[in-house]
Structure formats: C-alpha cells, structure tokens
Amino acid sequence: MDALIKFGTSGWRAIVAEEFTHHNVRRAVRGIARYVAGQKPQGARVLVGRDPRFMGETFVRIAAEVLAQHGITPVVIEEVAPTPAISFAITARQTDGAINFTASHNPPEYNGIKFNTPDGAPALPEVTKAIEAEVLNGDAATNPGSAFPERIETADVKPAYLDRLKEIIDFAAIKKSGFHVVFDPLWGAGRGYPDTLFHEANIPVATVHDVRDVLFGGHAPEPEDHLLGEARAKMRATGAGLIMATDGDADRFGIVDADGTFLQPNYIIAILFDYLVESRGWKNGVAKSVATTNLVNALATHHGVELFETPVGFKYIGELIKQDKIAIGGEESAGLSIRNHVPEKDGILAGLLCCEAVAVRRRTLKQQLESLFAEVGSFYPLRENFRLTPEGKETFTEKCKTAPAEIAGLKVAEVVRTDGLKLVFTDGSWICYRLSGTEPVVRVYTEARTPEGSAKLSSAAKQWVFD
C-alpha cells in the first residue's frame, strides 16, 4: 500500500526501507514536479541536493529522473550540501525551487524530502497542500517510464554561500581577538564549511567528527548538550573560546561557551538579537515562534523594536525576512536567520555570529546573557516531551479545546492559540502545549522568571497533561 505522504513543518520524513522507499520517493517527487510544472509550464529548473544520509545519492538520481520526465531541468548538487547553502543557491541561480533530501536532526534511519520555493524559503502550507494533492493526482495518472535524463545541470553551491558569509561576518575582528574555535558538524552536511572560512582567515579552528558517517555516530545528529563531549574534550585541549556545532543538514546550531556550558538556543537568539541591534544598528523588527523565550519580547521593548510572534515552523519567520520586516528571527528549536540573508534556518551563520559577538564584545556568551538579565530581568525557559497513548492523545486534544482558568493556583491572564494552546499567567510565566502531528507526543514549553518558578511550573504543566 502506498504511504500517505504529508509535508509537515520541514517536509516529509520517514524511515528508510519502510515508508521512505524508491517507490514513495518517486511519488513525492512526482507531486513536486507536477506542482512546479503547473507554476511554470516551460523552462523550469529545480535544484536537487542532499545531506550525507544513507542512499542520498540514489534518491537524488531518482529525483532527477522524475523531474526530467515532467519537462523540468534538474540541477544536481553533486556534493553533500547544507540546507542554508541550498536555499542561497535557489535565488543566486534563479531556479524554480529545490528538492533537498534531508531528515535534518532525525535519527539515522530516517530520510526526508524538503521543498523550498523560488524565493529560497521553506514551502508554505498552501504550497505543501498543493503538492500533497498532486501526489494523489500523480498516483491516478499514467506515469512515464524511468530513464536517466539527458538534459541535466550540475552545481557547486559552496563557493557562493561562503562568499555571502564572508560579507556578513567580521572575520577580521575574530582574528584580531585571538579567538580559537572548535567546530562539530556531527558528521553532517556542515563539514568543510565554517572551518574553511576560519582557515582562510587564519583563525585557529579544530574540527571533530569530520568524516562521513551515515549512522552519525549511532545517534540522531542533534547539536545538543549531551552529544558534544568530544567537542568539549577538544576545547580543553586547544584552549578554544567556543564550540559551534551543527545538525545533520546544518540548519540548526548548538553553542558551548568557554567554560563548557551549553547555552540553549533561546538564549542564543536573544544574545544575537541584542548584538545585531548594537553592532549593525538594525531595529526594523524581531520575530520568534510562540514557543520561544519572552526574553526576546523584553529586549524588543527595551530596544524599541517591533515584535512578531509566529506559529512554530521557520517558514513563517522566513516570510518576514523576505519582507525585510525583521533584523533577526529565531525558534527555540535552534533555528535562526537574519535580514538580507536566506529565509531559512542557518546553523552555520548562527555559530559564526556567536564567534563575532564574543570577539567584538570581549565577553563570554554567559557574561552577555547576565548583562541582558540585569537589563530586562531573568527568564528560564524549558522544553519537555511527554509520550501519550493514542487514546491519551485523543483525550488531550479534546481537553485543549477548553482553556483552564488556572493551573496549580496560577491564574490564566491570556490564552494564545497561535499554535497549540499557550497559557500566559498573571505573573508573566507561561505554558505552551503542542501536540505532535506524527506521533503520540505532547511538547510542553514553560517559562518562569526564576529557576524555582521554572521547576514548579514544569511540574504543574505535566500534571495538567495527565490529570
């Protein structure tokens, strides 16, 4: 039976050889091809790229065949490429979008297909719904046979993307500060990207996990605290001032400060927002998802900058970047980009900006965060996932339709339904519940103004799930 192909916040993902098969990949790409051909019946060109996952080269070949069968010229990226580099190449090469085979930070048994539109941004819901409809239409149509296309282009997306980063980042200031860096690509698509820039600028950099491993060391390629032990060891050995890590397709970031402390993405977004206002003078706006720290809200008020709060999914922030309404936009799940750059998450850019901020300000990231707390107050965000039974998920879905008046004695001051159910309490703390669309899991985000308040709120939030 054919798999139901649904494009979530970052495309369609599934386990290889279960649902992510040659047959279903053909169906998904056929849906994209039919959509693109409908938008541009003649002369369409689509980039096709991949991260280093298992069978990526094969899936790229299949996609090239299917595109050519629909009269679309495939522009094949022959080497593994980061998602932000592919996004940049779309507009630089004026293609009609890109198909990217990546499952980002998912475990190694997964692969996925992501479609970016001609503006370089992740496809919006109206586009993915149209593609899903075309998948079904393609299933019912008579399909041409498989043959490798005669008409094909190839592309190297690395040079132009690195040149763009050199325009954005002050590498001279980083070099002048005597800064040392450790880079951990976690065996992913970021390999050879920021470290190339550091080498060119004569900035000392040490790289770990700098080989292709389709199993990503036996775990999901997530740049999270518990997976950065080898990078920390390299930091101690080299005296580096910062670790920058990226996930499987280099669209997410993980940052470790000079003393070995992992700084959660919520704080990195806030620090870089403050730094960009100071260093670039950009005050046109800031965006964050509904589940991201209110430290950003407080800084927006402090700097007199307009705040945009979006549903979860970087595509919504990407729209604001395209319209130049924001200087920076970010999500607590480690997605970030800035104005005049790609309308897509860029983990490489985030890490480089952290290096610049430390070098220019001559203060560690923790010291910069402490300064922000002193200016606008402290914020302690937390994200937790709780697994439900399928029946429990259905019950909780119904429960969320009616917001409570209070939780654990905290009175609800505001109910926000931008994405999921967000309860803002009279003391400024909040809880946000979001149900996964693919598994029986509820994601619970909380934020309080003290560590003690955070622990209490987390307990209360969990209790309301299972009551």
pLDDT value, residue 178: 95
Nearest CA among 66, 1, 59 for reference residue 29? 66
Would you say residue 239 lies in a domain?
A: yes
The span from the first CA to the last CA of the chain, in angstroms, equals 38
DSSP 428: S
Residues 115 and 239 in one domain: no
pLDDT of residue 437 exceeding 90: no
Residue 327 reports pLDDT greater than 60 = yes
Q: Show the domain range for 233.
A: 178-376
Query: Is 162 contained in some domain?
Result: no
Residue 3 tokens, joined: 């798999």
Q: At what angle do helices 125-140 and 22-39 cross, to 10 degrees?
A: 110
Distances in Å between the Cα of 235 and the Cα atoms of 91, 226, 231, 461 are: 37, 15, 6, 37
Residue 10: per-residue pLDDT: 79
pLDDT tens by residue, 220-244:
999 999 999 999 999 999 999 999 9
Does the pLDDT at position 146 exceed 70?
no
Reported confidence tier of residue 438, pLDDT bands at 50, 70, 90: low
Distance separating alpha carbons of residues 293 and 449, to the nearest angstrom: 11
Please tell me the predicted confidence (pLDDT) of residue 148. Answer: 61
Q: Which of 318, 344, 376 is the last residue of a domain?
A: 376
The answer to whether the beta carbons of residues 328 and 338 sit under 8 Å apart is: yes
1: pLDDT strictly greater than 60: no
pLDDT at 465 exceeding the cut of 80: yes
Instruction: Place 151 in a pLDDT band, splitting at 50, 70 and 90.
Output: confident
pLDDT tops 90 at residue 315: yes
At residue 225, the pLDDT reads 97
Tens of pLDDT, residues 376-416? 999 999 999 999 998 899 999 999 999 999 998 899 999 99
Q: What pLDDT shows up at residue 149?
A: 64
Q: Is residue 166 part of a domain?
A: no
Is 209 inside a domain boundary? yes
CA distance 242 to 259: 9
**In CATH, what number is assigned to the domain containing residue 147?**
3.40.120.10
Residue 439, pLDDT score = 73
On whether both 221 and 203 belong to a single domain, the answer is yes
Q: Are 366 and 374 in contact (CB under 8 A)?
A: no
Confidence class for position 2, pLDDT limits 50, 70, 90: confident
Last residue of a domain, one of 376, 404, 435: 376
**Residue 467 confidence (pLDDT):** 84
> In the prediction, which pLDDT does 307 show?
98
Cβ neighbours of 375 (radius 10 Å): 12
Quick one: 251 and 290 in the same domain? yes
Question: CA nearest 200: which of 352, 88, 347, 81?
Answer: 352
User: Does a structural domain hold residue 167?
Assistant: no
Q: Are 387 and 336 found together in one domain?
A: no
